Structure 1
Amino acid sequence: MVSTGGMKPVPLIYLASYALSLLGNSIAAVALPLIVLQTTGSVLSAGILSAATAVPAFVSGLVMGVVIDRINRRTSSVITDLISAASLAALPVVDLVTGLNLGWFILFGIIGAVGDVPGMTAREAILPAIVRAGGVPAHRLMGVRESIGALIMVIGPAAAGSLLVLFDGSMVLWITAGTSSAAAMLTLLIPRHVGVIPAGTDPASSSPASGWGLLKEGWRVLFRRDRFLLAVTMLNLVLITVIVSLQGIVLPAHFTLIGRMETLGFVLTAIAAGTLVGGGLYAALGARGSRRAWFVTGLLGTAVGIGVISALPPIWVVFTGAFVLGLSSGLLGGLLGVLMIERIPEDLRGRVMGTQNSLMMIAGPAGILAAALIGHLGGLAAAGITMGVVWVVTVLAALRAPALRNLGAGQEVTGRAK
């Protein structure tokens, strides 16, 4: 477990708000499809809802990056959390008035999608200001954040299942909306000046370009001008694609075939436990040693973990590989988070991170589709091995990539509260 002792109020408030927002999204991701199934009695309806909200989530992540770069970033975080809360709270109200059907779920699902990815982006865009205001080392804040995310990976789905057993669907939606609302209220406790874009970097004040022009400027930086940002983005995309394909298709199918479907939950818990430990280690020790050493350790560790899991060995070996994967991804995620804080220009942070987060949204489904196709054509073992090989090749390319060799060029943001 990572200790937050000694942190000033601003980063503590930020982390608490982050945890509540992530918890709400995690509960909704599990509970909402089940509530749709209970309401409509159709498995297809749950699938239609997921597909119908994917495109709006992707587009809003891209477009709202411009808005996040033009207004107070604390305000952006509050607004997006309130949008998520309102979209969930509206469903039980409609149920009381007219009754729910698939159309209502899709409508409010699209509205909620407008808040989810931009909300994630707003919280990431404000991170450098949180570091400066709190006087906390960036590696410590990012390590704690990684560990919190790992805890929510376990708590969120378990909470969703428990709530659906204890309460009806409407009450679960009210509770989930309440977590997002509480996250917004906590964010309001962060001083307003923390979210202000530093003078001289606000594109609205220095550029007459349209919103579309500003959006294209962010894309140019990400895809053409900054090889480091592009390399890190591609690395994260492949990692998410591979991990989600293993978690979403390969492992569930494997455990179903051997009659041990209940084991999947324990494997996911092992990954989360490893991530918790990895994030804690980076928070405590990230300032020691070279960044290149942390980077290589994280990459090689993920290659070992994914390589073990993708081979579909005996269950206890899968558990070991899952923990190693989580541990290594916790280290790697903490380091890459710090590098993002340092390397993304302040005036482009919303647009660059919005594009990255939108791409991450489609990486998981793409991985599941790819694994399903390979499994259908060549068998489950072929799907697992293919995903393992893809990641090993990616790791080897990342270790040799010139853009990822000099990781110490940026100055870590520490700052002091004003």
Structure 2
Amino acid sequence: MNIRENLQPILRALESRNYRLFFFGQGLSLVGTWMTQTATIWLVYQLTGSALLLGVVGFAQQIPNFVLSPFAGVLVDRWNRRRTLVITQVLSMIQSLALAALAFSGHIQVWHIIVLSLFQGCINAFDMPTRQTFVVELVERRENLSNAIALNSSLFSGARLVGPAIAGLVIAAVGTSTCFLIDGVSYIAVIAGLLAMRVRPRQVLQAQAAGSMLKKLKEGFQYAFGFPPIRSILLLIALVSLVGMPYTVLVPIFATNILKGGPETLGFLMAASGLGALISAVYLSSRSTIVGLGKLIAIAPGVFGVALIVFSQSRVLWLSLLAMFVLGGSLILQSTSSNTILQTIVEEDKRGRVMSLYTIAFISMATFGNLFAGTLSSRIGAPTTLVFGGIACIAGSLYFGRQLPALRKLVLPIYDRIGLLEPHP
């Protein structure tokens, strides 16, 4: 009973049936996704031995997000979100099975991977903002929204822990092809969960449906960048994604050339990052209030930057694993806290557009970071590239920290208006 009582605050969003279906279906699918992520970067590096091409593949995965996400955000505010997710998951399944078929045939080439990465990027441009905003429809009690967002991060982080570790073992045993196949099959779980949900039809306001695409797009940009708390959060996430996140595509270089390991080493490094992320996400799930998350957003990028520098200079596995653990944990502290605050303070009719900008900042800015890091690494080396990224993250952390008191004054009245602050005595 004590264990159940202790877990109840952490898992309170699971009281909603629809969210439970979403949570467990996504869990299985995300494990497969992370297996494919790990198998893809390993396969590209084995085929080419090129840091530049690792960056190109990462660029191909994310550039559609950057181009399409703002338009997707407008449409997400208008479309049926469950139906949109079913379509994106079916298309993602097709992409993974196509990758598996090419790999099993033995004729897969880097250009195949780049083309399929572009296709998946187009899918993700619609899938990610839809997924972010759909959570609001699944949680019956608003006070559980922050818990649901943190649980989503726990789910993502748990898959990030399990997926790469399994991928490393599978690659060593039977090769990358099986990872792609497992990923394709795993989409069945999330599609089944979406179809089993009982979701009330969402009322789309006439103001949301009316107006041209460009007008709505401009309105979303003006709203997001005209309100300092949203603008500052988005810019800090964009900075870390641009200069810090590319470490994920450079990990094979450290696993093979610097740590002298193989696919198991890559799996352990990625799993260490996932473990740190999971622990941070569980911590955020256990919080009873969103008050204080701003301080976490200010501190986490600085910690991330220090860990990035340590990882870049490490030549022993245990220290690299520790640095990866801290990298994963600090990244989730920043991204999940930012997501929670944005979802809480944003106006409902602009939620899709703001979350599409969040997707651009968190995911798509890594597009240019991957390409830049791959190019820079081929000239000055991966370790030096990550050192520069770490220094930039520390600088961004310090700047946001100086802004925090002024931002807090703008956000607290919103929290008070929607009933998230303790009543005044």
Matches within 5 A, 1:100-249: 109-131=117-139, 133=140, 137-161=144-168, 173-193=180-200, 196-198=201-203, 200=205, 203-204=208-209, 207=210, 209-223=211-225, 225-249=226-250
Structure-2-length-normalised TM-score: 0.77
1:186 to partner: Cα distance? 0.6
Aligned partner of 2:360 in structure 1 is 358
Deviation string 1:307-351 (CA, Å, 9 cap, x unpaired) is 533554765444433333333333333322210211222222222
Name stretches of at least 5 consecutive residues in structure 2 with no aligned partner. Answer: 1-5, 421-425
CA 1:213 to 1:283, structure 2 compared with 1: closer, same or farther past 3 Å?
same
Is 1:405 matched up with 2:408? Answer: yes
Equivalent residue letter for 1:116: N
1:31 to partner: Cα distance? 4.2
Equivalent residue letter for 1:410: I
Name stretches of at least 5 consecutive residues in structure 1 with no aligned partner. Answer: none
| Conservation of the 8 A alpha-carbon contact between 1:83 and 1:111 | no
Q: Which moved more, 1:398-407 or 1:10-19?
A: 398-407
CA 1:201 to 1:180, structure 2 compared with 1: closer, same or farther past 3 Å?
farther
1:221 to partner: Cα distance? 2.1
1:119 to partner: Cα distance? 0.9
Equivalent residue letter for 1:16: F
CA 1:73 to 1:271, structure 2 compared with 1: closer, same or farther past 3 Å?
same
Is 1:28 matched up with 2:36? Answer: yes
1:393 to partner: Cα distance? 0.5
CA 1:254 to 1:171, structure 2 compared with 1: closer, same or farther past 3 Å?
closer
| Conservation of the 8 A alpha-carbon contact between 2:244 and 2:393 | no
Q: Which moved more, 1:279-288 or 1:101-110?
A: 101-110
| Conservation of the 8 A alpha-carbon contact between 2:133 and 2:351 | yes
Equivalent residue letter for 2:11: T
Equivalent residue letter for 2:64: P
Deviation string 1:270-298 (CA, Å, 9 cap, x unpaired) is 22211111111111135287344444553
CA 1:311 to 1:410, structure 2 compared with 1: closer, same or farther past 3 Å?
farther
Equivalent residue letter for 2:67: V
CA distance in 1 between counterparts of 2:415 and 2:203 reads: 18
How many residue pairs are counted as aligned between the two chains?
405
CA distance in 2 between counterparts of 1:249 and 1:95 reads: 22
| Conservation of the 8 A alpha-carbon contact between 1:137 and 1:414 | no
Matches within 5 A, 1:284-299: 284-287=286-289, 290-299=292-301
Q: Which moved more, 1:360-369 or 1:104-113?
A: 104-113
1:230 to partner: Cα distance? 1.8
CA distance in 1 between counterparts of 2:232 and 2:329 reads: 22
1:303 to partner: Cα distance? 4.5
| Conservation of the 8 A alpha-carbon contact between 2:149 and 2:339 | yes
Q: Which moved more, 1:174-183 or 1:288-297?
A: 288-297
| Conservation of the 8 A alpha-carbon contact between 1:305 and 1:321 | yes
Is 1:274 matched up with 2:279? Answer: no
Pick aligned residue for 2:68 from 60, 70, 75: 60
Equivalent residue letter for 1:280: V
Structure-1-length-normalised TM-score: 0.78
Equivalent residue letter for 2:71: V
SS of structure 1 residue aligned to 2:280: helix
| Conservation of the 8 A alpha-carbon contact between 1:20 and 1:182 | yes
